Chains A and B, each alone.
Chain A
Amino acid sequence: MLSFTLKRIAQLIPVFIGATLLVYFLVFATPGDPIAALSGGKPMTPATEAALRAQYNLDQPFWIQYGLYLKNLVTFDLGMSFSGQPVADLLGRAFPVTARLAILALLIEGVFGIIFGVIAGMRKGKFFDSTILVASLIVIAVPTFVLGFVLQFVIGVKLEWAKPTVSGAATWSELILPAMVLGLVSLAYVIRLTRTSVIENKSADYVRTATAKGLSRNRVVRVHVLRNSLIPVVTFLGADLGSLMGGAIVTEGIFNVPGVGNLLYRAILKGETPTVVAVVGVLVIVFVLANLIVDMLYALLDPRIRYA
């Protein structure tokens, strides 16, 4: 297991370097003055400009610039926002909120997705299955922001079951509604994936053999169908953390959640590219770590991977 972990980490390092390089390259190496790119085309004071030049070492050759950026990123020295606050502080406040939101969303899609997916898969072609399939198609087809507005309007404004927007504290209970919106599309994917996987496993040879051994149907489903079906689902959930972070930009905007997505969105609108580059760099680290965790989980669930 240890050598497996080391191997995976070794494989993820180039991904991390490559992804940050990609972001950095996009911002700094495209035609035009990098300062203009960083300022978002807005006029700035000479002091800000000087600070930016220092932060990104713009007088240095590209590779050194990038190296220093990477160093700043991993030491969490993220520079200042235009309003003069350290980006690290802003991110430090926003990150726990988004983490809570993402965990809730993952829980919702994981728990409900697997439950509905398993039931649908076991009753393939029956009423429940067809209903779930149609519902999941609709959820995938309707854009998150439309779903967000509708749920906010119906549940928050008309029914008043939940507050339509989130306070500065962004408590767990306030985040349930946004987390539902955030997790809904992935929920649909999890349902469909679990369903397919269950249907496939149900007709596997080893399931028939397990039945032939005299096991009860219940045990066959629990021990032999479920565990095997969960392997691709877990992989999906882990990889989905990435798209949740992307989706958070929309969801946090709608519900006014003071999280990373909101921070990023505001920075984009204000043209604060330095903040954008810094935050995205941190997010890449999160994705890469999430990928590592998925790989480990995968290896735990599927012994064939571990020893490969």
Chain B
Amino acid sequence: MSENATPKPLLEVKDLAITFSTPDGPVHAVRDANFTVMPGETVAIVGESGSGKSTSALAAIGLLAGNGRVSAGQILFDGEDIANASEKRFVELRGNHIGMVPQDPMSNLNPVWKIGFQVKETLKANGLAGDNPKKRVAQVLADAGLPNPEARANQYPHEFSGGMRQRALIAIGLACRPRLLIADEPTSALDVTVQQQILDHLDTMTSELGTAVLLITHDLGLAAERAEKVVVMYKGRVVEYGPALEILRNPKHPYTQRLINSAPSLSAVRGDKHEAAVEETSPAKAEPLLTVSNLTKVFDIRKGFGKKEKFTAVDNVSFEIPKGTTTAVVGESGSGKSTIAQMVLNLLDSTSGEITFDGQQIGNLSEKQLFKYRRRVQPIFQDPYGSLDPMYSIYRTIEEPLRIHGIGNSASRQKKVKELLNQVSMPAATMHRFPNELSGGQRQRIAIARALALQPEMIVCDEAVSALDVLVQAQVLELLDELQREMDLTYLFITHDLAVVRQIADNVCVMERGKIVEQGSVDDIFEAPKSDYTRNLLAAIPGATLI
């Protein structure tokens, strides 16, 4: 391919507008969107949830939800306007001209059919099964990096891990060698190291096939690393569009600047740190508030017929958290990090080992002592939709801990709730509302207010910001940081995202399969990781090498 050949775009989106009709009137999900995908290149659409990034891409393959339609503009695929093409035309195009790799590997494979069947029907529908479809299926799966493809083709989705399912979905998306592949957050549900492997593989495959990729992601670092061009979308509009590296290094639109400043993956590399955390990195090692020593948790897994299997979720783990600091426990799914949180919160008994809080062992507390302990240690959980009781108003939610511990009368409690809302930067009027009326980040702030109500000394954050969009995530992290400074709080911060750790933590424990493989100060871990596992995790942070 030479520079001077007149480039003919593969996909050209012109003044695209997409409207959803809802009971409350039409919603304009996308307005005046323009971008182009050239043959063989990767274009990333970046934005928060609700920015219209997925909607724009789905319109190009005719998969808008039933109440959505292209209300203006054009989608030119190879010169043909498919914005309002017939279902018949789309059936022709899908698979062999435009392929798709969906977001959630858990729900996108039909659970009742074998993997091989689901690949084969793709090939058949596009007339590419050939004389020996079995062999083709195995080949396609092998190309996607699935080891032992003949045997794998005979298995059902539930016998696959998340990463393997995503590989199967990539195999399906690329089985018919489409010219354009729409990859809708293809790895956001996976652990970072798996994410990296899969994206690398996708890269290799698409460049071999000459397939252009429209990559949809919320992670600007990842977009810049994987795409030639980046489209930044905000509230249904394209706010910035240009060469990936240029946008990353020289963002012009304030929204893009905001995104780059908040993206944990990028700030992790820059080594950003909130000033407060820096100055507090205890010079004269403060007393440990929490000491975990040789903690082990073994679960019995029932196998039927009374058979049991032992599973060691947490294996001989020891660490200390000095008062007023943050210790992050990082690990991929199944590493046992959340089990530790549950044991520290005394929601789960340990099998062996000790947890000591302020000199007191919490393993065998009496009912009364436990009640007192609960007042001093509070949790914030991951799922902002699950951590607040939907039946309770915000006022009742925040007041509940005060009531349980018999603090104050109703007037003083009301005053306290207002104070707490103010502390988490929520208007006092919010207290009459209900959780379903708030966004994810706002719910998380309410959860923080509830945790603060009892003036605890330690807060256990179990993936507290993982479900939030980057900007909201940054905001909540900042809030946590401020509160730590004001109230001398101690945090145990559980996360799968090493990038976030750098923004919040003083010390880090890296966990793999129940064991701590490395622990130390944040700077040590990031600058001079000792174990291969930590190095792998660090290297897998997208965008790591671009700034």
Chain A in direct contact with chain B (Cβ < 8 angstroms):
yes
- Please give the residue numbers on chain A whose beta carbons come within 8 Å of chain B beta carbons, in ascending order: 3, 7, 10, 204-217, 219, 223-224, 227-228, 231, 301-304, 307
B523 near A: Cβ within 8 Å? no
A84 and B92 alpha carbons, distance in the complex (Å): 75
A219 and B111 alpha carbons, distance in the complex (Å): 17
Q: Are A205 and B112 in contact (CB under 8 A)?
A: no
A247 and B169 alpha carbons, distance in the complex (Å): 48
| Chain A residue contacts of B61, Cβ below 8 A | 212
A217 and B86 alpha carbons, distance in the complex (Å): 12
Binds A, one of B95-103, B309-317, B329-337, B357-365: B95-103
Q: Are B125 and A213 in contact (CB under 8 A)?
A: yes
Chain B residues touching A, range: 20 to 34
Q: Are A214 and B102 in contact (CB under 8 A)?
A: no
B159 near A: Cβ within 8 Å? yes
Q: Are A214 and B96 in contact (CB under 8 A)?
A: yes
Task: Mark contacts of B396-429 with chain A using CB atoms, 8 A cut-off: 1 yes-contact digit, 0 otherwise.
Answer: 0000000000000000000000000000000000
Q: Are B109 and A214 in contact (CB under 8 A)?
A: no
Q: Are B122 and A213 in contact (CB under 8 A)?
A: yes
Q: Which residue of B lies closest to A6 (CB)?
A: B305
Q: Are B102 and A212 in contact (CB under 8 A)?
A: yes
How many A-B residue pairs lie within 8 Å, measured between CB atoms? Answer: 90
| Chain B residue contacts of A215, Cβ below 8 A | 91, 95, 121-122, 125
B94 near A: Cβ within 8 Å? yes
Pick from A10, A209, A223, A304: contact of B108, CB below 8 A.
Answer: A209
| Chain B residue contacts of A214, Cβ below 8 A | 91-96, 122, 125-126, 176
Q: Are B172 and A213 in contact (CB under 8 A)?
A: yes
B431 to chain A, nearest CB (A): 36
B304 near A: Cβ within 8 Å? yes
A116 to chain B, nearest CB (A): 22
Q: Which residue of B lies closest to A231 (CB)?
A: B112
Cβ < 8 Å to A, chain B residues 108-153: 108-113, 118, 121-122, 125-126
A216 and B173 alpha carbons, distance in the complex (Å): 16
B203 to chain A, nearest CB (A): 21
Top 9 A-B pairs, shortest CB-CB distance: A214-B95, A214-B94, A212-B100, A205-B107, A213-B122, A206-B110, A303-B156, A209-B108, A205-B108
| Chain B residue contacts of A302, Cβ below 8 A | 111-112
Pick from B92, B96, B109: contact of A209, CB below 8 A.
Answer: B109
A219 and B122 alpha carbons, distance in the complex (Å): 11
Give 30 CB contacts A-B under 8 Å.
A205-B107, A205-B108, A206-B107, A207-B110, A208-B63, A208-B108, A209-B100, A209-B108, A210-B110, A210-B118, A211-B94, A212-B63, A212-B102, A213-B94, A214-B91, A214-B125, A215-B121, A217-B87, A219-B121, A224-B110, A228-B110, A228-B111, A231-B112, A303-B111, A303-B156, A304-B111, A304-B112, A304-B156, A304-B158, A307-B156
| Chain B residue contacts of A304, Cβ below 8 A | 111-112, 156, 158
A231 and B110 alpha carbons, distance in the complex (Å): 13
Apart from the given pairs A212-B173, A216-B91, A231-B112, 16 other A-B contacts in the complex at a CB distance below 8 Å: A7-B305, A205-B102, A206-B110, A208-B108, A209-B109, A209-B172, A210-B110, A212-B94, A213-B99, A213-B122, A215-B95, A215-B125, A216-B125, A303-B158, A304-B111, A307-B158
| Chain B residue contacts of A213, Cβ below 8 A | 94-95, 99-100, 121-122, 125, 172
Q: Which residue of A lies closest to B92 (CB)?
A: A214
| Chain A residue contacts of B95, Cβ below 8 A | 212-215
